[in-house]
Amino acid sequence: MSDLVDIALGDKKADLVLRNANLVNVCSGEIYETDIAIAHGVIAGLGRYEGRVEIDAQDNYAVPGLIDGHTHIEMSMLSVREFAKAVVPRGTTAVVADPHEIANVLGIAGIRALFDDAKATALKVFCMAPSCVPPTDPSLGLETSGATIDQTEIKKLLLMDEFIGLAEVMNYEGVIAKEEEVWAKMAIAKALKMPIDGHAPLLSGKELNAYVVSGAGSDHENTSSAESQEKLRLGMRLMVREGSAAKNLKNIAPLLKSVDTRNCILVTDGDRTPLDLKDEGYLDYVLRRAIEEGIDPVKAVQMCTINPAQWFKLDAKIGCIAPGKIADIVLLKDLESFEVEKVLVNGKPDFASPSEYRYKYPQYRESVRLKRVKPADFVIVQEGTMKARIIGLIEGELQTGELVEEISGIEIGRDILEIGVLERHHHSGNIGLGFVKGFGLKTGAIASTIAHDAHNIVVIGTNEEDMALACNRLKAIGGGLVLCNGKEVTSELELPIAGLMSDKELDYVILKQKEMGDNISVMGCKLPAPFITMSFLALPVIPKLKITDKGLVDVTKQEIVGLFL
Amino acid sequence: MSDLVDIALGDKKADLVLRNANLVNVCSGEIYETDIAIAHGVIAGLGRYEGRVEIDAQDNYAVPGLIDGHTHIEMSMLSVREFAKAVVPRGTTAVVADPHEIANVLGIAGIRALFDDAKATALKVFCMAPSCVPPTDPSLGLETSGATIDQTEIKKLLLMDEFIGLAEVMNYEGVIAKEEEVWAKMAIAKALKMPIDGHAPLLSGKELNAYVVSGAGSDHENTSSAESQEKLRLGMRLMVREGSAAKNLKNIAPLLKSVDTRNCILVTDGDRTPLDLKDEGYLDYVLRRAIEEGIDPVKAVQMCTINPAQWFKLDAKIGCIAPGKIADIVLLKDLESFEVEKVLVNGKPDFASPSEYRYKYPQYRESVRLKRVKPADFVIVQEGTMKARIIGLIEGELQTGELVEEISGIEIGRDILEIGVLERHHHSGNIGLGFVKGFGLKTGAIASTIAHDAHNIVVIGTNEEDMALACNRLKAIGGGLVLCNGKEVTSELELPIAGLMSDKELDYVILKQKEMGDNISVMGCKLPAPFITMSFLALPVIPKLKITDKGLVDVTKQEIVGLFL
């Protein structure tokens, strides 16, 4: 600190000076030319400075490193190492991560592994304590999850240095019904004066008021300007998501152009496929899209820097380029297209290459705890045709319908396939079986250990042999995605880290994913994102009919229902 | 809380509903019509609500209670009770107070008394721990102050509930010179993640960078747009003051109209005379002036509500009208003129009248610890004419010049008067004597226990008899302001609370002050604010020549100097 003051005073040379940069000053909302002096990883001064190293930045804009205010790293299917390698060079230097995917599989140990790995990267990963693990009330017995994070564990997490708040309280119905457990979790965060993120799609009017008065302080589930405006007016932080699947910016941009945007934050919600991550970018993509939608570039940058920093109380350290802040700086060739020239992390343009880090997760390669299954385990016993409850896919939605039809079993001609969920955390041997309509597969089977949020195994098939083979293969490779056809594994992506994340490079994941996409298309499934669609069929919090290792779930009633009527 | 949720849901009636108010929403930056439902002192919901009591507010604007981000209550010369009675009905419901005046007299006990009294009022008083008590390094022995608040005591204060940060670090030269004591105080606030207010008039360039990198996060000493812009750009909170003496808005308004104002805050700095407080208002006056200067009314309101709330981390509770926030609300007949219809404190329009509170400060009535003085104590021994250092007043400035002239003693014809500072905290009997030019008194003497920052007694006179009488009278009335002429007390204002504050009502203080102003004018002094001018002649941190109980101080050299050369 003493040295920093000497450097600020000009009595000593800075470690590095960005000379004549066009600073995007998110505090004053201005762009102007200045030197940026850096020492000890921190910004020492703005003005005219000399450095031991100087970078001519007169053709560049300097913006603070972007902060993704809401993401789930696991959704990238990449290790934190690979994730950081992909996003940091694109200008995102910090993320606020809700590790609820790995938490559902491995509990606190999984979370800890995730942020321990994060420490070895150039990316600053701030954690939110997952509030809804598991997503359904365990006492209802609707499914078997890998882990439970109760109020005692929430408290433990929030007292750790890495944690800065309570992650999206998705159980908004529980909140306004004053459920004890979720209220207790929120009370802990409030007592610690930590931010509480919300999640309340389409919640409105008096119910939204009740949710806010209970303590939910933000929401990223906004699809229209009207919905967004209502939340912003109630004092919530408005998180606007633009992902591979959810595209919310176009609808919300008109609002963002007409209101005070200090409480608005651009986020990815983790919704970037590996391919999109590579081709289009990460939070830089969201920022670029916002500018395309006509939002003032400086305001758009604020929505990715100082705005999230203030909500998450990180603004003493990051979120703007000013004396005393950490020198996470992105130099751009062009502001509107966000073309990155160079990224500085902790003042270093040559931040330690994450590839030097040796990724180790020995215990997590054992996350698929499944007894070997046989085709017979998938046989649904029925006599002739029977009237069955069938999960009906609805194009472009995560919601499903409940169809009731006479069937004689798997009927490929009517696009009625078998779906199974196999418990994979506790060797219980639980298998829930049912039928799904609209998936389109004409042959073979597809299985995955990504199955929100309990992340058991979900499998869809045209025959029991391929279904069994796919599940057994998942166990052999430690989890991932598998396609089988004609009793052979035709393609696969290993995700050995908790069955959720690869230990390979981004390009490998992209290649494999493309290969699988091509394969499944040949097998008859024409859905735009079949694995993602399948992964949500096991989530018993989105209506109407879903399936877990316990069987079919009527989500609206929150109860297990029979397959046949 | 459970009840609040029921009310938000509309299942129960609110305690109070402000029906069809024109809400100034400082979060979204909009004005629109809505009901505001209030229960348990908190805002339960916005939208359409029913209440056990309803107020028709369709002709009113509803704005959050104003928050004065920087003030010194003692400067009003009013007790907290009277201060609150004056400011709350005018729309200021919270202040961030730096109690450094009373701290210099009575230390922590004085601060505690101040905020204990505050608790009995409708005003929310948040305290900043005074960082510069006394203002000069005690080891230099330049003056005797009533109390010292060192780093140990700062830590004690900051751990108290009432304290929210470190008050203006006026010793900016000490900060950038890395003085151990001031650095230690700042380090304590930083470790507690508390805001640190700065004070750095005209500090600029590299020195300002050094001040900011050391941790100073705000400044209220800004007189021009250029100075303000530089501070804002360095990430500081820009506090803009508009007081009775300091009028900074006109010069800074052009900047405020061209930049992002989220980090801009309107403040009084305590600079409102009792008369101005009554005639023009308090922070409402500053807000009105900002709007007069062309600042957008919603932005101006933000600068008095959400902006200070965010800087001081009070935004979880106050600063906007949204579910879950304390219901401190001002209903206005008109926004631009800020004409108050009604003020709600903790949701109550009939907040407990502070006049019911019995003001008790027994021990503080003894703050003038002075041995009886005689005219002989004021005799400056000299032989014939001698060359003396004389304090030269400079019109309209707190700075003084150092004049060196041949004098034969008090020379009323040349406007050379005697000035004395009498130690009044420890019965030491210290008296510092000297001469002052430019005060204008033709007869009598004037004395005061308000003498920044040590608040010893300062007296200026045309003869030793009246000087001694004035000082003895101050002791008799427990402190205050006294005018003597012809060996008689001609007018006085008792300030028995630490010698700084009255225990009477605002109107009484105004009346007395006016009377004294008329009197001193008749006695020859034509200065616009003679008591204030005199009170700063004892402050050895503003150049050039000042006087303390130890004698004349060369402020630039920070040393005691002789009266005669």
**Span B69-81, mean pLDDT?**
95
How big is the CA angle at A252 (ends A251 and A253), to the nearest 5 degrees? 100
Nearest to A213 among B4, B212, B233 (CB): B4
Distances in Å between the alpha carbon of A357 and those of A84, A118, B156, B311?
12, 11, 45, 39
Sheet with strand B545-548: strands edge to edge: B545-548, B551-554, B559-561
H or E element in which residue B64 lies: strand B61-64
Q: How many CB atoms lie within 10 A of CB A447?
A: 29
**Span B180-200, mean pLDDT?**
96
**Span A166-185, mean pLDDT?**
94
Q: Is the pLDDT of residue A365 over 90?
A: no
Q: Do B323 and A212 meet the contact criterion of CB atoms below 8 Å apart?
A: yes
Alpha-carbon span A559 to A565, nearest angstrom: 15
CA B507 to mean position of chain CA atoms: 19
H, E, C per residue of A229-273: HHHHHCCCEEEEEECCCCECHHHHHHHHCCCCCCCEEEECCCCCC
**Span B144-170, mean pLDDT?**
95
Query: Hey, are the CB atoms on B234 and A210 less than 8 Å from each other?
Result: no
pLDDT given at position B396? 76
pLDDT tens-digit profile of B86-116?
999 999 999 999 999 999 999 998 998 888 8
Distance of residue B243 Cα from the nearest chain A Cα, in angstroms: 25
Alpha-carbon span B324 to B551, nearest angstrom: 56
Q: Is the pLDDT of residue B319 over 60?
A: yes
Query: Hey, are the CB atoms on B263 and A27 less than 8 Å from each other?
Result: yes
Q: Is the pLDDT of residue B409 over 80?
A: yes
Nearest to A235 among B229, B260, B322 (CB): B322
pLDDT given at position A361? 58
Alpha-carbon span B115 to B126, nearest angstrom: 8
pLDDT given at position A358? 53
Alpha-carbon span B261 to B250, nearest angstrom: 16
pLDDT given at position B357? 45
Quickly tell me which residue has 């993509």 as its tokens: A285
The 3-state DSSP class for residue B95 equals strand
Instruction: Report yes or no: A4 at the B interface, CB cutoff 8 Å.
Output: yes
Instruction: Report yes or no: B469 at the A interface, CB cutoff 8 Å.
Output: no
Average pLDDT, chain B: 94
Query: Hey, are the CB atoms on A28 and B233 less than 8 Å from each other?
Result: yes
Strands (E), B295-412: 329-334, 339-344, 386-393, 400-407
H or E element in which residue B130 lies: none
Nearest residue to B74 via CA among B40, B14, B115: B115
Query: Hey, are the CB atoms on B205 and A47 less than 8 Å from each other?
Result: yes
pLDDT, greater one: B359 or A183: A183
pLDDT tens-digit profile of A287-320?
999 999 999 999 999 999 999 999 999 999 999 9
The 3-state DSSP class for residue B436 equals strand
Q: What is the DSSP string of A115-177?
A: HHHHHTSSSEEEEEE-S-SSSS-GGG-----S----HHHHHHHHTSTTEEEEEEE--HHHHHT
- Cα torsion through A437, A438, A439, A445, rounded to 10: 30
**Span A335-358, mean pLDDT?**
81
pLDDT tens-digit profile of B28-50?
999 999 999 999 999 999 999 99
3-state percent breakdown (helix, strand, coil) of chain A, nearest 5: 30, 30, 40
At residue A135 the predicted structure's pLDDT band, cuts being 50, 70 and 90, is confident
pLDDT tens-digit profile of A44-59?
999 999 999 999 999 9
Nearest to A209 among B193, B210, B323 (CB): B323
Chain B contacts of A214, Cβ < 8 Å?
1, 5, 324
Strands (E), B252-316: 264-267
Query: Hey, are the CB atoms on B206 and A42 less than 8 Å from each other?
Result: no
Q: Do B64 and B305 meet the contact criterion of CB atoms below 8 Å apart?
A: yes
Query: Hey, are the CB atoms on A212 and B30 less than 8 Å from each other?
Result: no
Sheet with strand A386-393: strands edge to edge: A400-407, A386-393, A431-437, A416-422, A457-461, A445-448, A480-485, A488-494
Q: How many CB atoms lie within 10 A of CB A512?
A: 21
Contacts 24+ apart (CB under 8 A), B285-289: B285/B242, B286/B240, B286/B241, B286/B242, B286/B249, B287/B66, B287/B338, B288/B336, B288/B337, B288/B338, B289/B242, B289/B249
Burial class (CB in 10 A: 0-12, 13-18, 19+), A29: buried
Q: Which A-chain residues 178-197 have CB contacts (< 8 A) with chain B?
A: 178, 193
Within A439-505, where are the H helices? Answer: 464-477
Alpha-carbon span B20 to B31, nearest angstrom: 12
Residue B483, strand partner residues: B446, B491
Lowest mean pLDDT among A178-182, B155-159, B364-368: B364-368
Q: Do B321 and B312 meet the contact criterion of CB atoms below 8 Å apart?
A: no
Phi-psi region of B455 (alpha: psi -120 to 50; beta: other; left: phi over 0): left
Residue B47, strand partner residues: B35
Instruction: Report yes or no: A8 at the B interface, CB cutoff 8 Å.
Output: yes
Could you tell me how many CB contacts below 8 A there are between chain A and chain B? 147
Alpha-carbon span A13 to A10, nearest angstrom: 7
Q: Is the pLDDT of residue A354 over 60?
A: no
Alpha-carbon span B455 to B75, nearest angstrom: 12
Sign of CA dihedral B500, B506, B508, B514: positive
The 3-state DSSP class for residue B207 equals helix
Alpha-carbon span B38 to B17, nearest angstrom: 6
Query: Hey, are the CB atoms on A29 and B260 less than 8 Å from each other?
Result: yes
Query: Hey, are the CB atoms on A9 and B206 less than 8 Å from each other?
Result: yes
**Span A380-405, mean pLDDT?**
92
Phi-psi region of A480 (alpha: psi -120 to 50; beta: other; left: phi over 0): left
Q: What is the DSSP string of A303-315?
A: TTTHHHHHHTT-T
Alpha-carbon span A180 to A182, nearest angstrom: 6
Residue B480, strand partner residues: B494
Residue A264, strand partner residues: A238
pLDDT given at position B470? 98
At residue B135 the predicted structure's pLDDT band, cuts being 50, 70 and 90, is confident
User: What percentage of chain A has pLDDT greater than the value 90?
Assistant: 88
Q: Is the pLDDT of residue B529 over 90?
A: no
Query: Hey, are the CB atoms on A302 and B260 less than 8 Å from each other?
Result: yes
For testing the chain B interface, which of A234, A252, A298, A317 should be mutated: the one with the most B CBs within 10 Å?
A: A234
Q: Is the pLDDT of residue B555 over 70?
A: yes
Lowest mean pLDDT among A12-26, A167-181, B325-339: A167-181
Query: Hey, are the CB atoms on B209 and A233 less than 8 Å from each other?
Result: no
Q: Do B225 and B251 meet the contact criterion of CB atoms below 8 Å apart?
A: yes
Nearest residue to B430 via CA among B549, B562, B561, B324: B549
**Span B300-312, mean pLDDT?**
98
Instruction: Report yes or no: A1 at the B interface, CB cutoff 8 Å.
Output: yes
Instruction: Report yes or no: A263 at the B interface, CB cutoff 8 Å.
Output: yes
At residue A356 the predicted structure's pLDDT band, cuts being 50, 70 and 90, is very low
Q: Do B559 and B552 meet the contact criterion of CB atoms below 8 Å apart?
A: no
pLDDT given at position B358? 53
| CB environment A380-409: b (16+ within 10 A), e (fewer) | beeeeeeebbbbbbeeeebebebbebebee
Half-sphere exposure of A427 (CA within 13 A, CB side): 4
Average pLDDT, chain A: 94
| CB environment A130-167: b (16+ within 10 A), e (fewer) | bbbbbbbeeeeebbbbbbebebebbbebbeeebbbbbb
Q: Is the pLDDT of residue A351 over 90?
A: no
pLDDT, greater one: A36 or B365: A36
Instruction: Report yes or no: B254 at the A interface, CB cutoff 8 Å.
Output: no
Q: How many CB atoms lie within 10 A of CB A350?
A: 8
Q: Which B-chain residues 146-175 have CB contacts (< 8 A) with chain A?
A: none
Chain A contacts of B320, Cβ < 8 Å?
235
Q: Is the pLDDT of residue A357 over 50?
A: no
Tell me, what amino acid is at A549?
A: D
Pairing of strands B488-494, B480-485: antiparallel
Minimal Cα distance from A194: which residue of B? B316
pLDDT tens-digit profile of A65-106?
999 999 999 999 999 989 999 999 999 999 999 999 999 999
**Span B224-240, mean pLDDT?**
97
Query: Hey, are the CB atoms on A209 and B8 less than 8 Å from each other?
Result: yes
Q: Which B-chain residues 282-321 have CB contacts (< 8 A) with chain A?
A: 298, 302, 310, 313, 316, 320
Within B120-204, where are the H helices? Answer: 151-158, 172-176, 180-191
pLDDT, greater one: A233 or A383: A233
Check whether the bond before A540 is cis (ω within 30° of 0).
no
**Span A427-447, mean pLDDT?**
97
Chain A contacts of B222, Cβ < 8 Å?
none
Q: Is the pLDDT of residue A362 over 60?
A: no
pLDDT given at position B356? 47
Query: Hey, are the CB atoms on A28 and B205 less than 8 Å from each other?
Result: no
